[in-house]
Structure 1
Amino acid sequence: MTEPNRADLRQLASELRKLHKLLIDCQSRVFGAVGTPFDHLQLVTTHPDFAWLRILSEFMVEIDERLDEEAAPSDEELAAFRTTLEQLIGPAPASQPAFREKYLAALHDSPELTIQHGALRLALGKLQRRPA
């Protein structure tokens, strides 16, 4: 049962990367022109207007680090990833209210992001949910 867990977590990571890119694109449009790709990278990694996205970036790193481990993720680990992400994007109560507010505003403004949110929810739905 653990190899399907790895595949499900990989799929979630893939959909999350796509979502993250769209969120950066949305925030970049709000921010305005920035110059070179290097300037844009500096902006994304250091400017306060992009700080809310770092929460998602750090979560993605956690998933990638877990996928790099030899052992496949357990059901409990998948449940923890699911809970953490649902606390960021919903429907669970928000663990980071400022992130949730900006995320929902971006969903409202971007049809592409809304479609990707749906793809992420489908991938998230594959993760095992442990009984409480």
Structure 2
Amino acid sequence: MTSTNFSLDPEINHLREVRQGFLRLHKALLDAERETYEQHFGKIQTNGEFFQLVISHEWFDWLRPMSQFIVQVDELLDDKAAIAASQIQDLLQQAKTLLKASEDGTLSEQRYDQAIQRSPDIAFMHAVLLNTLK
């Protein structure tokens, strides 16, 4: 999809780059959370069972805003109507909020911080995304 406002092409490309980073990070977080979940509750037998857990189990609640963010970006980029600069800026601001990790913050921020502490790969993806958002 190309915006009807060609002056926004750099911003749209930036949003696509952020989206790709979030997809990689989201996958890594899901894999890490699956591993931790299985340590606590036993092996997840099928991908279908895992999918059901991701969408309905409280263990994975903290990842849903990131999932929803990716969907929002996809919907905006797939929309045939012109994309407004304000929509892109709103999504980029939302991305920055989603990347907040803190030992003392919200439950989501704490869980994200723990994931970063456990995995050098996740920490690296987090840093790359923060740099992309500057």
TM score, norm. by length of structure 1: 0.82
Q: Unaligned stretches of 5+ in structure 1?
A: 126-132
Please give the per-residue CA displacement for 1:7-60, whole angstroms capped at 9, x wherever unaligned: 111111111011001111111111002011111111111111011111111111
2 CA distance for matches of 1:98 and 1:63? 24
Cross-structure match for 2:25: 19
How many Å separate the matches in 2 of 1:56 and 1:112?
A: 18
* 2:20 counterpart SS class: helix
Shift of 1:68: 0.7
CA contact (8 A) 1:3 1:72 kept: no
Structure 1 CA distance for aligned equivalents of residues 118 and 83 of structure 2 = 35
What is the CA-CA distance between 1:72 and the residue it aligns to? 5.6
Q: How many angstroms apart in 2 are the aligned matches of 1:51 and 1:39?
A: 16
The offset of 1:123, in angstroms, is: 2.3
The TM-score, its normalising length taken from structure 2, stands at 0.81
Give the ranges of 4+ consecutive aligned residues of structure 1 lying more than 6 Å apart after TM superposition.
none
The 3-state SS of whatever aligns with 2:45 is coil
Give the alignment partner of residue 133 of structure 2, picking from 106, 124, 129.
124
- TM-fit CA distance, 1:71: 4.8
CA contact (8 A) 2:76 2:83 kept: yes
Corresponding residue of 2:52:
42
**CA radius of gyration, larger in:** 2
What percentage of aligned pairs have identical amino acids?
28
- Superposed displacement of residue 77, structure 1: 2.2
1:99 counterpart residue number: 108
Q: Alignment length, in residue pairs?
A: 122
Alpha-carbon spacing, 1:121–1:72, altered in 2? closer, same or farther (3 Å):
farther
